[in-house]
Structure 1
Amino acid sequence: MTEHPDSTLQRLNTEVLGAYGWPPFGGVFDIIEEWPAGIPTKIGVYVFMAGGDKPITYPVGESSIVYFGKAEQQRGVRGRVSQHRGRIKMGPHERWAGHPAHEWLMARGGTCAYSLAPEREPAHPLGHSASWMERELITAFQRLHRTRPVGNGTAA
């Protein structure tokens, strides 16, 4: 599995995930070239990061983070990331643009990392919810960079 040095990701590991008892993002792998057998089928959140030598320039600072997602369904992180990966591997379509995160990853390649919901009592009443954690990650990213990740849409 691949390591990723994104400083925003490291900060969110501490300030958001760690603050609510979630493990840091781990299990980093190349979204196109790798498909690790051990991707869990548990509830969690995941992040897609664009590849290439240059991070994405945001209104304040830079980051490779393209998208935060949640996995709450039956197949958890494995099922949700598998759906995205299938669309990314199909490549660009001539007639219509796909999901913004998919377009970035098709153009530049990239990695995925995930964090699983804690099994113990969370530090916050909603802290075990992947939907809640996804919102917290997007909000923290927005505070740092003054916009959401390019794949999570724009702030109105």
Structure 2
Amino acid sequence: MSEARVPGHSRQHHEATSPDAELVAFLLDRLDEERTAAEAATRTPDGDRIPGWYWSSAGEAVFLDGTATCVASGPWKQPAHRPWARHIARWDPRRALLTCSLLQQLIDQHRQPATDHCTGCGHTNAPMTEQRPARCSTLRDMARLFDVHPDYRSEWV
């Protein structure tokens, strides 16, 4: 299920050509971590892969789709607790993997190392001015998703 990076958009290529290199490498590393965690969460005890989860009020737990394999349970018998279970089921590995894929596409759209020009927002790596920040605003915004990670640097945003 792992997403392959677009050819020519490797970490090494970014490091050699882009002032955003550290930010791009940080984002790519976080996506790798997210994919790895999501893929690990799809495995059943039998070794099958099931990326979806569902919440069952009858079982008061979150299960792998189409199975009785519980991935999360709690004392969700009170109506006030049920939104927690639904939220856990909603953010299943399938959604995490799709999110990683979409974020990867955004990185690829917003950093074109061959031209040093962002085709997504028009940002260039020309010298910073008052009107033009030093980094692509889309990449900066994406970094905020991971602001609690120890490698995050506040100067990126």
Q: Judge same fold: TM > 0.5, yes or no.
A: no
* Bigger radius of gyration among the two: 2
Task: Flag the structure with higher strand content.
Answer: 1
Higher RCO (C-alpha under 8 Å, 6+ residues apart):
1
TM bin (shorter chain): under 0.3
| TM-score normalized with structure 1 length | 0.23
Task: Flag the structure with higher helix content.
Answer: 2
